[in-house]
């Protein structure tokens, strides 16, 4: 990456741009230029940043007039207002290498991207690596897993690529850089450059980004720039096969025997699910759904690339824990509560949740809804409406702002509660359903009060 020939222009204070500004300022004495895409910064905030860094804030008109004088750094999802030379992902990769050279750490980094399954895959991977010291970054927080204990370092980080820089600096400040064996992180919309292992869990919906000038599949193809790659087989065949060499790619499938890792038998149970992998290896662990099994397969593929043997994997996989809100369950008053509560829910994942519940009981009810503003890309309501019109015999209660919007478009077909806990208490007190399936688009920690 040639950064010495022109001025550096960094865009977007909302999605990690200020982190990139802070880190890059450590490696240059030149003036850095910044375009505040969404006008997030006040005059006083800009004055403070000018005093702290050699930064010059410029407006859109100035950028367009002088774009040839800049190397521009923009988020991959930013609407193309001007030429973008490098994405935040690419620039973060450059800064990771600078950080590594500066502080001398040498642990492998695994970056996991995808539409669904990122957080769960990170957590399962950490469980399988419980004999090592692992730093993990997900939407749930930055955690140092040491001696089978989880030390929470930060719960405020997003999964923008720039958060990887924050994680490394947190590790530096806590003086644990030399203790880390592996760094496993969740990243939105692709991975950074030259990471050790890149993982693509799926592209369940190829949603548009950057003002509909780009899409998720194109953004996430950066996973193939990693030294080693683990990829969902169906996703690879659908979006990338014709343009990629698959020499260093481990393909994962639930049941396709032509993939590198697959299952040949699954016997689901609430406590322990029996899984046969590659018609050879038998494991027993927590897994309530096909989604969860798939995430286990990804974690196995990752840890194999990190050097774990099958004996190590079989020993540690018995202890993998359910993750609250990510295909977890609990028992209340003789009812079973299934929880799928995360910001990445879309029509495909919602339909899979509903299909999955049928293997446990026919006597169930769905609580469906969520919040807006959880991710940069909102759920495709029209697609979800079309799906819901087919659910003629399934009992559903709508919740939250999303539930209200859906219900309005469905002519108020369903009962609606604004608060999840109100819907939950109503069902607990007034129904005889065996299973309550909660499907809620939000961060788990922000809405669970029941």
Summarize pLDDT for 56-77 with one digit per residue, the tens: 999 999 999 999 999 999 999 9
- What pTM, to 2 d.p., does this model score? 0.90
For 2-35, the pLDDT digits (tens) are 555 569 999 999 899 999 999 999 999 889 999 9
Can you say how many angstroms the Cα of residue 59 is from the centroid of all Cα atoms in its chain? 32
Instruction: Kindly list the domain boundaries of the chain, sorted by start residue.
Output: 7-84, 97-317, 326-447
According to DSSP, the residues that pair with 152 across neighbouring strands are: 143
Contact 159, 115 (CB under 8 A): no
Q: Is residue 392 over pLDDT 90?
A: no
DSSP 3-state assignment of 56?
Answer: strand
CA nearest neighbour of 128 among 307, 359, 378, 288: 307
SS (H, E, C) 307-321: CCCHHHHHHHHCCCC
Q: Is the model's pLDDT at 445 over the cut of 70? A: no
* Count of CB atoms situated within 10 Å of the CB of 67: 14
Give the domain 97-317 fold.
Answer: 3.40.1190
CA distance 147 to 373: 37
Average pLDDT, the chain: 92
Query: From CA 43, how far away is CA 20, in angstroms rounded?
Result: 20
Q: What is the pLDDT of residues 355-373, one digit of tens each?
A: 999 889 999 999 999 887 6
Cα–chain-centroid distance for residue 222?
A: 15
Average pLDDT over residues 108-123: 95
The pLDDT of residue 246 is above 90: no
Pick the CATH number of 7-84 from 2.60.40, 1.10.8, 1.25.40, 3.40.50: 3.40.50
The better pLDDT of the pair 339, 298 is held by: 298
- Using the predicted structure, report yes or no on whether residue 236 has a pLDDT greater than 80: yes
* Count of positions (residues) in the chain: 450
Round to whole Å and give the CA distance between 96 and 194: 10
The pLDDT value recorded for residue 370 is: 87
| Distance of alpha carbon 274 from alpha carbon 265, whole angstroms | 8
Alpha carbons 70 and 75: distance in angstroms, whole number: 16
- Sorting pLDDT into bands at 50, 70 and 90, what band is 243? confident
Listed range (175-189, 248-262, 421-435) with the worst mean pLDDT:
421-435
User: What pLDDT shows up at residue 448?
Assistant: 57
Please state, in angstroms and rounded to a whole number, the distance separating the CA atoms of residues 125 and 250: 16
Cα–Cα separations (whole angstroms), residue 233 to 203, 286, 288: 11, 23, 22
Each residue's pLDDT tens digit, 314-350: 999 988 877 777 788 888 888 899 998 887 678 888 8
Question: What is the average pLDDT across 381-408?
Answer: 91
Q: How many CA atoms lie within 13 Å of 435's alpha carbon, on the beta-carbon side?
A: 21
CA distance 270 to 336: 10
Q: Is 344 left (phi over 0), alpha (psi -120 to 50) or beta?
A: alpha
Residue found under tokens 């490696």 = 27
Q: Which CATH number fits domain 326-447: 3.40.50.10470, 3.30.450.40, 3.90.190.20, 3.10.20.600?
A: 3.90.190.20
- Residue 354 in this model has a pLDDT that exceeds 80: yes
Strand partners, 35: 11
CA distances from 61 to 5, 58, 82 (A): 23, 8, 10
Give strand ranges (E) for 308-404.
326-332, 335-341, 364-370, 396-399
pLDDT for 239 = 96
CA separation for the pair 290, 288 (Å, rounded)? 7
Report H helices in 174-263.
216-220, 233-235
Tell me the residue ranges of DSSP E strands in 261-325: 263-267, 273-277, 281-285
């Amino acid at each position: 990456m040639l950064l010495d020939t022109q001025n550096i222009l960094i865009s977007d204070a909302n999605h990690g741009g200020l982190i990139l500004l802070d880190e890059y300022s450590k490696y240059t004495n030149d003036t850095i230029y910044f375009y505040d895409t969404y006008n997030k910064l006040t005059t006083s905030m800009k004055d403070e940043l000018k005093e702290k860094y050699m930064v010059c804030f410029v407006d859109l008109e100035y950028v367009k007039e002088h774009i040839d004088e800049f190397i521009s750094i923009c988020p991959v999802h930013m609407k193309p207002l001007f030429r973008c030379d490098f994405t935040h992902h690419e620039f973060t990769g450059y800064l990771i290498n600078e950080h590594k050279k500066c502080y001398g750490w040498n642990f492998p980094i695994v970056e996991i991207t995808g539409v669904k399954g990122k957080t769960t895959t990170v957590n399962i991977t950490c469980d399988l690596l419980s004999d090592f010291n692992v730093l993990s970054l997900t939407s749930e927080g930055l955690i140092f897993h040491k001696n089978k204990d989880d030390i929470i370092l930060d719960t405020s980080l997003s999964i923008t690529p720039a958060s990887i820089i924050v994680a490394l600096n947190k590790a530096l400040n806590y003086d644990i850089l030399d203790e880390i064996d592996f760094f496993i992180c969740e990243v939105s919309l692709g991975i950074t450059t030259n990471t050790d292992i890149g993982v693509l869990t799926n592209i369940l919906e190829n949603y548009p980004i950057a003002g509909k000038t780009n899409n998720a599949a194109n953004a996430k193809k950066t996973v193939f720039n990693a030294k080693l790659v683990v990829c969902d087989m169906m996703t690879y065949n659908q979006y990338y096969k014709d343009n990629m060499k698959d020499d260093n790619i481990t393909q994962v499938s639930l049941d396709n025997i032509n993939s590198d890792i697959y299952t040949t038998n699954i016997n689901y149970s609430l406590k322990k699910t029996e899984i046969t992998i590659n018609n050879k290896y038998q494991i027993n662990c927590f897994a309530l759904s096909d989604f969860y099994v798939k995430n286990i397969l990804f974690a196995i593929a990752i840890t194999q690339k990190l050097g774990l043997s099958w004996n190590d994997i079989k020993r540690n996989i018995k202890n993998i824990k359910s993750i609250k809100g990510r295909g977890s369950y609990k028992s209340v008053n003789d009812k079973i509560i299934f929880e799928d509560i995360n910001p990445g829910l879309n029509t495909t994942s919602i339909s899979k949740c509903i299909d999955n519940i049928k293997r446990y009981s026919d006597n169930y009810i769905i609580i469906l809804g969520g919040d807006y503003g959880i991710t940069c890309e909102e759920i495709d309501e029209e697609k979800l409406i079309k799906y819901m019109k087919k659910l003629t015999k399934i009992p559903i209660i709508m919740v939250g702002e999303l539930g209200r919007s859906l219900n309005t478009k469905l002519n108020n077909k369903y009962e609606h509660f604004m608060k999840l806990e109100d819907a939950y208490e109503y069902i607990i007190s007034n129904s005889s359903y065996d299973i309550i399936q909660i499907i809620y688009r939000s961060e788990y920690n922000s809405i669970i009060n029941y």
